Chains A and B, each alone.
Chain A
Amino acid sequence: MKCDKFIEALGARVKILEVTRQYEDQVTALVGLSDLPEAVRFLYYDMGGYLSTMVANDERSINKNYALYYALSMEGGKMFEGDEIAQDEKCFVTVKVLVSPENLTYPSVTPLVPACVWYEREAYDMFGLIADGLPDKRRLVLSDDWPEDLFPLRKDAMDYRYRPDMKEHYNEPEYEFLRPEGSGIIDVPLGPLHVTADEPGHFRLFCDGDIIVDADYRLFYQHRGMEKLAENRMNYDQMGYLAERVCGICGYAHAIACIEAAEKAINLEIPARAQAIRIICSEIERLHSHLLNIGLACEVTGNYTAFMHIFRIREYSMKLAELVTGGRKTYGNVVMGGLRRDITGVEIKESLRILKIIETQVEEVWDAVMDDKRQIKRWKGVGVLDKQVARDFSAVGPNIRGSGIKRDTRYDHPYDFFKQIEFDIAVVEGGDVFAREMVRYLELKSSVSIIRQCFELMPQTAIIVDPTFHVKPENFALAYVEAPRGENVHWIMQGSAQKVFRWRCRAATYNNWPSLRFQFRGNTIADAALIVCSLDPCYSCTERVTVVDIKSKKSKILTNKDLKDFSKTLKNSPMKDLR
């Protein structure tokens, strides 16, 4: 069966205590605490895994311990031609450890696999689990005024409605930024309310003259406490609506990822028509999201005419969403077992007409934008994401595809209706803003073709299963959806009384933020907004940010010159001394 090969290889390395299978392509291996870093590193670098998510869980009521799940998507390193696992062997392997509530400590994986850094910081924030050896121990998610010893996701910590007192707003608590050493470096604070992006996030750019030497950021201004809310107030029918509101742009992808996790935990297969409609709606979402991002990338560089045109075209995609889901945000559609809204012949006909308009006009405008040499100049060579950095931090979506790595959940782990659809994965070399925008443009075209194929192949079934299924407490599973920004991974452990025991939502941008710091370096302040924009960040998705530089906590600190050289040549990546 799938995954067995990896478990066997892992077993030769470390002692596996127990193997459980959740789904056809998902297995979990329980290992001892001391084996954890080696197990994750082995799967990540030696077997070709990418870190999909890490879930901390309070399982004291089940097995008297806390548990950590490091979920890896086994797909191959993809660093060069042929460095990829065969299509039918791709799967998810989860490494699980138990952490005793007495000492709450586990060995940190971050020094070996940098991609784990945020996850381990969050595990401390939410559960008080201490990663031994983690270079950056600052808080990540909770607000600066949150009580030191209160860990909200512990089952016995507090009521989900408990709100500690606010501080006097004139004495607002300060956040501690990681400042690079060296003379002549100036702090440039950006945010939390700022001109460049709508959403709040505090960026601290450290500059030498006009050049950004380093950056640090405090995000999570939008942490709303959804995971706790879902565990306490929501049943499965209502959870989809909460998951949608993780993010206003890729909400549909979150909703289906969340619901599919719950479905996969009990092996529930949804009707083919519902699968097709889920794909249609998530592709419509990709249309409007990518149009938004390309538009903003023009706006940030001062090309207002193109911005306005792209937004005019984007209104057609919103019209499309309004037509097939009844709301401009593809909200309110997903329930466990299927969907709540069908698409009839009238809608299909009208949709095809609108698709045609979008297709021709996008092509026209893109052609006009590409005709503008000044525009291309602003995009080329800016905010380069090095291939190795992308690999180390498990970047996702157009961000990693713009760096020449063919990583797309729709292709690696085809879900729902994607098994029956032909489409191209856009991969562009270069890693700069231009490459990322190019990926987005190519994806716009493939989305249009995917939607058309779905309409053609529309199966004749119902849109929701017979409501006779039963949830099974303690069953858990992963679900993954390629949102416009990259894969969204949700992990659900089912609980009793129609509620989830633990819901972990990992948004695409969560994996993209940590590498942003490397993209900033060596660029001018004027490009900072463009770089953030080209990442297509979704603050509310991630609800978090502070990039962790492991390097600065290590004794070796790069000089300005080193950094500048690095950013010019892109050789000698500072990530090197981590391994």
Chain B
Amino acid sequence: MMKLLDITEKYGKATHKYPFEPYKVATNFRGKPAYIFDLCIGCAACGIACPSNAITVQFNADQSKLVWEFDCGRCIFCGRCDEVCPTGAIRLSEEFELAVKFDKSALIQRGELDTQFCTECNKPFTAKRLIKYSFECLSKANLGEKRLEEAASYLNICPTCKKNATVTNFTSGKEMVIE
């Protein structure tokens, strides 16, 4: 018993000063995901990766906007969204002071992006920013001019129409060369 008291004396005060002084977590601590709206392209990679479905990406009622929504209350802080985000719009911060009182909606973050409608069938299928980003990537990927032009035209078509167009092309009897 006395030995235990000796240990107490040897190591002295152990208590952190928090909350009266700030507390520093380890570098690269997995804290609250921070969302940078300007960088978000609405690709929904985070929504698909999220194991607890804390991130959802859905069209709003009149389909004019693609709504990205994050519920911090459901987040399990795994960092999958950070890992898959192609533009760095979502990055885990070192923020751990997350408690809210009385009103749960303070845990929500959301962003609304303009919808891209398919130029063929006029259905909404993704966010405008994703199309713009995809084109930007292609234009810097060392493609031929003709190929780029072609890409620009089919980027604005929804997957169903794209599929139909491909089938029509390939069954038309015309031979095609893809660069």
Residue ranges of A at the interface with B (Cβ–Cβ < 8 Å) = 234, 237-238, 241-242, 245, 305-306, 309, 312, 319, 322-323, 326-327, 331-332, 340, 361, 364-365, 367-369, 371-372
Contacts and interface: CB of A to CB of B under 8 A. Distances in A.
26 contacts: A234-B51, A237-B49, A237-B51, A237-B80, A238-B49, A238-B51, A238-B80, A241-B51, A241-B76, A245-B76, A305-B5, A306-B4, A322-B25, A322-B26, A323-B26, A326-B29, A326-B79, A331-B77, A332-B30, A332-B76, A332-B80, A365-B4, A365-B7, A367-B3, A368-B1, A372-B3
Contacts of A361: 7, 11
B7 A372 contact: no
A441 to B, nearest CB: 16
Given A238-B51, A323-B26, A305 B8 contact: yes
Given A322-B26, A326-B28, A327-B30, A368 B51 contact: no
A331 B7 contact: no
Interface string B83-125: 1000000001000000000000000000000000000000000
List the 7 shortest-distance A-B pairs measured between CB atoms, nearest first. A332-B78, A368-B3, A238-B51, A241-B51, A326-B30, A322-B26, A368-B4
A245 B11 CA distance: 35
Contacts of B29: 322, 326-327
Interface of B: 1, 3-8, 11, 14, 25-26, 28-30, 49, 51-52, 76-80, 83, 92
B26 A326 contact: yes
Given A322-B25, A322-B26, A327-B30, A309 B7 contact: yes
A371 B51 contact: no
Given A305-B4, A372-B1, 19 more contacts: A237-B80, A238-B49, A238-B51, A242-B51, A305-B1, A305-B5, A309-B7, A312-B11, A322-B29, A326-B92, A327-B77, A331-B76, A332-B79, A361-B7, A364-B7, A365-B7, A368-B3, A368-B6, A372-B4
A568 B117 CA distance: 81
Given A242-B51, A326-B26, A331 B14 contact: no
Q: Is the interface of A mostly helix, strand, loop or mixed?
A: helix
A197 to B, nearest CB: 24
B8 A340 contact: no
Given A309-B4, A368-B7, A340 B25 contact: no
A453 B45 CA distance: 38
Query: Quick one: which of A234, A237, A332 has the most chain B CB within 10 A?
Result: A332
Nearest to A370: B3
Contacts of A242: 51
A436 to B, nearest CB: 21
A359 to B, nearest CB: 15
A332 B92 CA distance: 13
Query: Quick one: which of B8, B79, B83 has the most chain A CB within 10 A?
Result: B79
Contacts of B4: 305-306, 309, 365, 368-369, 372
A348 to B, nearest CB: 14
Given A234-B51, A340-B83, A332 B8 contact: no
Nearest to A331: B78
B8 A309 contact: yes
A340 B79 contact: yes
A26 B80 CA distance: 33
A245 B78 CA distance: 12
Contact of A332 (B11, B25, B77): B77
A364 B6 CA distance: 10
A112 to B, nearest CB: 41
Contacts of A319: 26
Contacts of A326: 26, 28-30, 79, 92
Nearest to A315: B14
Contacts of A340: 79, 83
Contacts of A305: 1, 4-5, 8
A237 B84 CA distance: 12
Query: Quick one: which of B5, B6, B7, B80 has the most chain A CB within 10 A?
Result: B7
Nearest to B83: A340
A8 to B, nearest CB: 44
B2 to A, nearest CB: 8
Contacts of A367: 3
A44 to B, nearest CB: 38
Nearest to A323: B26
Contacts of A368: 1, 3-4, 6-7
Contact of B78 (A241, A323, A369, A372): A241
B55 to A, nearest CB: 13
B74 to A, nearest CB: 13
Nearest to B15: A312
B33 to A, nearest CB: 12
Nearest to A367: B3
A367 B25 CA distance: 32
A364 B10 CA distance: 11
